[in-house]
Homo-oligomer: A and B are copies of this chain.
Amino acid sequence: MSVTAAAGFQAAGTAAGLKTEGKDLALVVNTGPTRHAAAVFTTNKVAAAPVLWSRQAISDARADAVVINSGGANACTGTEGFQDAHATAEHAAQTLGISAVDVLLASTGLIGERLNMQAVLSGTTTCAEELNDDDAAGAAAAEAILTTDTVTKTAVAHGSGFTIGGMAKGAGMLAPGMATMLSVLTTDAVIDPQDLDAALREATRVSFNRADSDGCMSTNDTVFALASGAHPEADPAGVDLTEFQTALTELCQDLARQLIADAEGAHHQIAIRTVNAATEEEAETAGRAVARSNLFKTAIFGQDPNWGRILSAVGTTDVQFDPMTIDVAVNGIWVCRAGGIGEDRSLVDLSGREVEVVIDLKSGQAEATILTNDLTHDYVHENSAYSS
């Protein structure tokens, strides 16, 4: 399904030769009638060339096409890298008969190396020739954006007069303000550009931004949302924004879960739910501190419900809580009560893949859930061997 589930979109994915094997270049085209677009980018100051390009291109809230490549991030490549991004957009525009400033770009792969531009350009041409609105085309695009991912990540949602389709990649580096995470969301809703932008930001805030695999923020993180207005039963007056927001948020949360489930070398996928926080932001801060504790993450890998490392991580933040009243549960067992020893830790079963940590701050009524994973030998192996 993926990005072609919504009416008004075509896609393709091809093996252009950027990676040693497999598909590595995707094209998504909005055939209208509307071509509204919104985006959320990495806040990393070292932004990749495609991010610099796309920030400019989307400033008018319109986009006709997105070109995404794996097999090279085009980050830390200086002015030459930006020229490569520009050339990619120009080539796509010529091939599709559109304007270059309506072409969005995203790249993923190794940073600090120039792209194989011959592969990018010929792959773009091939994709343009193979554009299709069927399921297979959406699946091919979803496959072409993968790096160390082991499976494609796609999702579809339906609502009153709209469909949303999405694809994402990212299997490591998931992080604050996102992940090396690329995602393209398409919808055939009738929606104003500013409403699309607001909906995307809210959905991202409580989904991709709360998936924190290893605390490292990428140079390339990007989420695009494109709206065609092509749904056969679309309300010309505009989609129900509340219903649309709910559907978009749930779809993004679904994709975020898929990303964490496939994180590099993870043996456990962990949901850290912080409850009774003074504010939602503080709940998020507490959960994120735990999600970034290598000591916590290695303990979970070792199937050790080491709640002291959870308290220690929360204690490094400025979140409101009393160390003498905080409770912590791991997989339903309240191993920490009132900041001290609670139920028998040997009752905690960490043999399964899913882990839920609940941190009760007893400081208010807000809550937030951060998704992360454990730190394993496989993580070290994949990330020490990746470029060599």
Chain A interface residues (CB < 8 Å from chain B):
43-47, 73, 75-81, 110-114, 172-173, 176, 214-219, 292-295, 298-299, 301-304, 306-309, 311-317, 321, 323-324, 336, 338-341, 375-377, 379-381, 383-388
With A312-B216, A339-B76, A376-B380 as given contacts, are A306 and B112 in contact (CB-CB < 8 Å)? yes
Whether the Cβ atoms of B294 and A214 lie closer than 8 Å is yes
With A304-B388, A387-B304 as given contacts, are A77 and B341 in contact (CB-CB < 8 Å)? yes
Q: How many copies does the complex hold?
A: 2
Whether the Cβ atoms of A341 and B307 lie closer than 8 Å is no
Quote the shortest CB–CB distance from A150 to chain B (angstroms).
Answer: 19
Q: Main secondary structure on chain A at its contact with chain B?
A: loop
The winner among A76, A315, A341, A388 for most chain B CB atoms within 10 A is: A76
Q: How far is the CA of A292 from the CA of B303 in the complex (A)?
A: 24
Q: Tell me which of B46, B292, B304, B309 contacts A339 (CB under 8 A).
A: B46
Whether the Cβ atoms of A312 and B380 lie closer than 8 Å is no
Apart from A45-B317, A111-B309, A214-B294, what 5 extra A-B contacts exist at CB < 8 Å? A45-B323, A76-B307, A78-B339, A112-B307, A380-B380
Q: Tell me which of B45, B298, B315 contacts A46 (CB under 8 A).
A: B315
- 7 closest A-B pairs by beta carbon, nearest first, are A302-B384, A78-B340, A46-B315, A111-B308, A112-B308, A298-B383, A44-B315
With A44-B316, A45-B321, A110-B308 as given contacts, are A295 and B78 in contact (CB-CB < 8 Å)? no
Q: How far is the CA of A324 from the CA of B47 in the complex (A)?
A: 10
Sample 25 A-B pairs with CB under 8 A, ordered by A number.
Answer: A44-B316, A45-B314, A45-B315, A45-B316, A45-B321, A45-B323, A47-B315, A75-B312, A76-B311, A76-B312, A76-B340, A77-B341, A78-B338, A80-B340, A111-B311, A111-B312, A176-B316, A216-B309, A216-B312, A217-B312, A298-B380, A302-B386, A376-B380, A379-B380, A380-B380
